[in-house]
Amino acid sequence: MKRCPNLSCPHRKRVGSAAEFYDDKTTCSDCGADLEAAAPEDPVPQRNAGNAETPSAPPPLKRRLAVTLLVPLIALAAQHLLLPSIDAEAAWSTLKRSGLAGLFASAEGLPGFSVVALGIRPAVTAFLIVEIAAALVPPWRHLRRSGSEGRAKLTWAALALTIPISAFQGFSLAIAFETMDILSHPGILARLLITSSLTAGVFLLLGLAGLIQRYGLGNGFFVMLAGPMLLGEVFGFAAAIGAPPETDPLGPLSIAAVLITAALAVAATLVLFGVPWQTLLNALSRREADPLPQASAATPYRAAPSPVRIGPLPCPTSGLAPLVAAPALLMLPDTLAQLHISLGGVYYFLLKFELLTPIYLAIVAGLAIGFSRLWNPPEQIAEVRARARQDDIESHAAEAKRDLRQATNKTLALLLGMALLKELSLRLVGHHINLIVILMITAVVLDIRAEWRARLASPDLVPIWAEHRPFAVSAALSALSKEGIAAHAQSLQSRVLLQFFGPFVPILIMVRPGQAETARRLAHRVLAGTEAPTSGAPTKSIQEDILG
């Protein structure tokens, strides 16, 4: 290992550390100074040398995968822990009489009356409230982009807000249960016990999410959010197949149509995420490129200076918000009519002339275009790219607008395709398919697979930055790569689906430990636009930012 001793080297001025090269190099490619030998503090491991077979995953990596798969099962088991004072028999009979059994119960038990009945929805609500407040209140805006330290403050504020939100929702449920006459000992004590139990259940799930985040693969919060949704869809699909004849169960053709629709949704998502078909074929044949390229004698830590090549904007640039908001907007006339606010029979007119689907697609398209522009401002894209390339912003303005336009077109194709698939499946099969859940699970699988491959190359990756703007990640990774720092962006695909509405799913930029300080300084300059503090480790703040 050799290093450049020149204190005025352009590389040292940019990233704060000496340029490193392998022993066959004699001069620095930046300043031309003679290199001197240095003891390698963090030797780069060589993998797959010669014709050696690919080694199996190390035990810690397998344990990480096991944690990711098994921890959600703990949450599933917690659904069998009934709240205090709940009379199970009375609950079953009441639900059957009211027709609400499908909402509060399943064949396995009464999850709607368990200690985890609220799920992590109160925490999601709290994070969104804090994020919106930080975006609207000028003195708080800097916290959203000041790195892990600022984000940690927002995270603690969201966790604190989760307590009253959970308590309010829990107390409301307790009153509802008392009204349904399913409490064995109704009264204020039962209400308080149910409220405290539901609040504790929310933080139990948050703790499980933290376990996945720290010891598993992928983002624990997103896994705990998508996992129950997937199980709900699977149980609902199974119930539709096994329904009695008088309720018109799904037949073989309908089942095939549902599976084909789901497969098309997964395929479209893979294409949108930029997963080429050759990569999929290589994965099936177990031939994969190294996700964290290793240095070699022919390729030193950092090659000669070259332009920073930045990839396309991650899609969908609008997230999934258009698919969620469009149905609510479409039903707005009917909702207002129920509130005795008449719109002149607008909803009846739409139904009569079968205009709901065209208008639904138009709303999805309009929201997709608007959200894409809102979440990905071209001026901010140009600013981040200019810092990554150490160039002026004006030279990147046209490129940013062009890339945003191309990414928005891809987003429109996906979301409109998903909306059409949903309508077709409902009309042809008569069964509602939650394509949003399919997209979320696909993103989780891709993120876990990407982190598996990254940790296979370097099991001890450490986080150096938590980014909340998907459009900025590619520029940061490219700038790090130019300096010979291979990095992995954890949970990128999951966050892309949420965009602004996913502050609880930060994109963690992770590198090898020996390159962490240099990478942190460079990421701070590119993503925050300021120089990093000269002391202090960011790891604790980052872990706090992700509920670790």
Tell me what pLDDT residue 539 has: 46
The answer on pLDDT for 287 being more than 90 is no
- For residue 68, tell me if it sits in a domain: yes
- For residue 225, tell me if it sits in a domain: no
Tell me what pLDDT residue 407 has: 94
Q: Which of 170, 197, 216 is the last residue of a domain?
A: 216
The answer on pLDDT for 431 being more than 80 is no
Tell me what pLDDT residue 281 has: 47
Question: Do 14 and 111 belong together in one domain?
Answer: no
Q: How far apart are CA 544 and CA 548, in angstroms?
A: 6
Per-residue pLDDT tens digits for 107-165: 445 677 889 989 999 999 999 999 999 989 988 888 887 767 788 889 999 999 999 99
Q: What is the DSSP string of 142-191?
A: GGGSS-HHHHHHHHHHHHHHHHHHHHHHHHHHHHHHHHTT-BSS-SHHHH
Q: Note if the pTM is more than 0.85.
A: no
Q: Which of 165, 195, 216 is the last residue of a domain?
A: 216
Question: Do 66 and 143 belong together in one domain?
Answer: yes
Q: How far apart are CA 378 and CA 398, in angstroms?
A: 9
Token digits of residue 147: 């790195």
CA 18 vs CA 15, 461, 482, 497, 518: distances in Å: 8, 22, 14, 39, 10
Q: Which of 216, 250, 281 is the last residue of a domain?
A: 216
The confidence band for 367, taking pLDDT boundaries of 50, 70 and 90, is very high
Spatial CB neighbours of 255, under 8 Å, sequence gap ≥ 6:
241
- The residue type of 524 is H
- Is the distance from CB of 218 to CB of 212 less than 8 angstroms? yes
Tell me what pLDDT residue 338 has: 65
- The boundaries of the domain holding residue 12 are 1-40
Question: Do 91 and 183 belong together in one domain?
Answer: yes
Tell me what pLDDT residue 180 has: 84
Tell me what pLDDT residue 109 has: 52
Q: Give me the number of domains the chain comprises.
A: 2
Per-residue pLDDT tens digits for 206-221: 999 999 999 999 999 9
- For residue 167, tell me if it sits in a domain: yes
Q: How far apart are CA 320 and CA 46, in angstroms?
A: 41
The answer on pLDDT for 510 being more than 90 is yes
Tell me what pLDDT residue 261 has: 66
Question: Do 119 and 4 belong together in one domain?
Answer: no
The confidence band for 14, taking pLDDT boundaries of 50, 70 and 90, is low
Closest C-alpha among 509, 517, 59, 51 to residue 292:
509
Q: Which burial class, exposed, middle or buried, applies to 106 when counting CB atoms under 10 A from its CB (0-12, 13-18, 19+)?
A: middle
- Is the distance from CB of 316 to CB of 414 less than 8 angstroms? yes
The confidence band for 193, taking pLDDT boundaries of 50, 70 and 90, is very high
- For residue 348, tell me if it sits in a domain: no
Per-residue pLDDT tens digits for 314-366: 999 999 999 999 888 877 766 666 666 665 566 666 666 567 788 889 999 99
Tell me what pLDDT residue 285 has: 44
CA 70 vs CA 65, 103, 244, 505: distances in Å: 9, 25, 33, 20
- Is the distance from CB of 86 to CB of 113 less than 8 angstroms? yes
Q: Which burial class, exposed, middle or buried, applies to 468 when counting CB atoms under 10 A from its CB (0-12, 13-18, 19+)?
A: buried
Question: Do 128 and 211 belong together in one domain?
Answer: yes
Highest mean pLDDT among 148-157, 164-173, 218-227, 270-279: 164-173
- For residue 86, tell me if it sits in a domain: yes
- Is the distance from CB of 218 to CB of 68 less than 8 angstroms? yes
Is the previous residue joined to 316 through a cis bond, with omega within 30 degrees of 0?
A: yes
Per-residue pLDDT tens digits for 462-493: 999 999 999 999 999 999 988 888 899 999 99
Question: Do 18 and 129 belong together in one domain?
Answer: no
Question: Do 163 and 35 belong together in one domain?
Answer: no
Q: How far apart are CA 44 and CA 512, in angstroms?
A: 9
Q: Specify the CATH number for the domain of residue 177.
A: 1.10.3370.10
Q: Which has more pLDDT, 420 or 540? A: 420
Closest C-alpha among 485, 471, 473, 547 to residue 509:
473
Q: How far apart are CA 290 and CA 485, in angstroms?
A: 14
Rounded to the nearest integer, the mean pLDDT of the chain is: 78
Question: Do 96 and 162 belong together in one domain?
Answer: yes
- For residue 199, tell me if it sits in a domain: yes
Q: What's the average model confidence in pLDDT over 520-526?
A: 91
The confidence band for 38, taking pLDDT boundaries of 50, 70 and 90, is low
Question: Do 138 and 198 belong together in one domain?
Answer: yes
CA within 13 Å, CB half, 433: 30
- Is the distance from CB of 166 to CB of 202 less than 8 angstroms? yes
The answer on pLDDT for 267 being more than 90 is no
Question: Do 11 and 148 belong together in one domain?
Answer: no
- For residue 140, tell me if it sits in a domain: yes
Which of these ranges, 5-19, 86-100, 268-282, 404-418, has the smallest mean pLDDT? 268-282
The confidence band for 280, taking pLDDT boundaries of 50, 70 and 90, is very low
Q: What is the DSSP string of 224-271?
A: HHHHHHHHHHHHHHHHHHT--GGG----HHHHHHHHHHHHHHHHHHHH
Per-residue pLDDT tens digits for 289-310: 445 554 444 444 444 444 567 8
- Is the distance from CB of 82 to CB of 88 less than 8 angstroms? yes
Question: Do 5 and 63 belong together in one domain?
Answer: no
Tell me what pLDDT residue 175 has: 92
- For residue 128, tell me if it sits in a domain: yes
Question: Do 86 and 182 belong together in one domain?
Answer: yes
